[in-house]
Chains A and B, each alone.
Chain A
Amino acid sequence: NAGVMQNPRHLVRRRGQEARLRCSPMKGHSHVYWYRQLPEEGLKFMVYLQKENIIDESGMPKERFSAEFPKEGPSILRIQQVVRGDSAAYFCASSSGDDGYTFGSGTRLTVV
């Protein structure tokens, strides 16, 4: 059981480029959550997805950010036209719905 896999671990983008962050949940987990952790701040909820459905996107900025969890393949968090303020660690977590969450190691996005 490989756990929650996120890639890339580190991503550097220039302002205005697109960032794509991938997350493969644990085998058997159908719930995926994305969180953002800014330097010196706590983890903030962004979006909750199940296969092919966005359940709760109340934490997602209204513009430039989108997320999907297709029937096949990993969940993707997409940030268009990145700005310096998007620099953060982005964590994905999965659960079976019954107990604690399993987090990935995160993607550290740096916008230069």
Chain B
Amino acid sequence: SQKIEQNSEALNIQEGKTATLTCNYTNYSPAYLQWYRQDPGRGPVFLLLIRENEKEKRKERLKVTFDTTLKQSLFHITASQPADSATYLCALSPYNQGGKLIFGQGTELSVKP
């Protein structure tokens, strides 16, 4: 069956450390994968998109990797800050499905000062 899974356990880290979140998928052939941030009571906010032919993408303190052999994406936040505390969602877009997104359940990140 098709699945997209993120670490279900909340991630607690110390300010200044690097947070690494994992997204694994099975039985999908994604054209691209996206990462979003969601705060309580708000809609998801787009962070980064990585295409299937890209290995890595960076934006400020954020880095995403995409390994289509392992069927995994890693999302890193370097020099984390308490303001980075939120739920992070990965979402993939399968080929030939009009750009609709299949979301993981999200990983809650808590950065302690």
B101 pairs with A33, CB closer than 8 A = yes
B43 pairs with A56, CB closer than 8 A = no
Residue in A48, A91, A100, A104 whose CB lies within 8 Å of B100:
A48
A42 and B104 in contact, given A99-B49, A101-B46 (Cβ under 8 angstroms): yes
A102 pairs with B103, CB closer than 8 A = no
**Residues of chain B from 48 to 96 with CB closer than 8 A to chain A in the complex:** 48-49, 89, 91
A41 and B105 in contact, given A48-B98, A48-B100, A103-B44 (Cβ under 8 angstroms): yes
Residue of A nearest to B4 (CB): A42
B101 pairs with A45, CB closer than 8 A = yes
A33 and B43 in contact, given A42-B89, A100-B34 (Cβ under 8 angstroms): no
Chain A residues with Cβ below 8 Å from B105 are: 41-42
A91 pairs with B44, CB closer than 8 A = yes
Chain A residues with Cβ below 8 Å from B91 are: 43
Contact flags A39-70 to B (C-beta < 8 A → 1, else 0): 00111110010000001100100000000000
Query: Within 8 Å of chain B (Cβ to Cβ): is A31?
Result: yes
Query: Within 8 Å of chain A (Cβ to Cβ): is B30?
Result: no
| Inter-chain CB contacts under 8 Å: number | 59
Chain A residues with Cβ below 8 Å from B103 are: 35, 42-45
Chain A residues with Cβ below 8 Å from B48 are: 100
Query: Within 8 Å of chain B (Cβ to Cβ): is A80?
Result: no
The tally of residues in A whose CB lies under 8 Å from a CB in B reads 25
Q: Which residues of B contact A (CB under 8 A)?
A: 34, 36, 42-49, 89, 91, 97-106
User: Could you list 19 examples of A-B contacts with CB < 8 Å?
Assistant: A4-B43, A35-B101, A42-B89, A42-B104, A43-B89, A43-B91, A43-B101, A44-B103, A45-B101, A45-B102, A48-B98, A56-B98, A56-B100, A93-B44, A100-B47, A103-B43, A103-B45, A105-B43, A106-B42
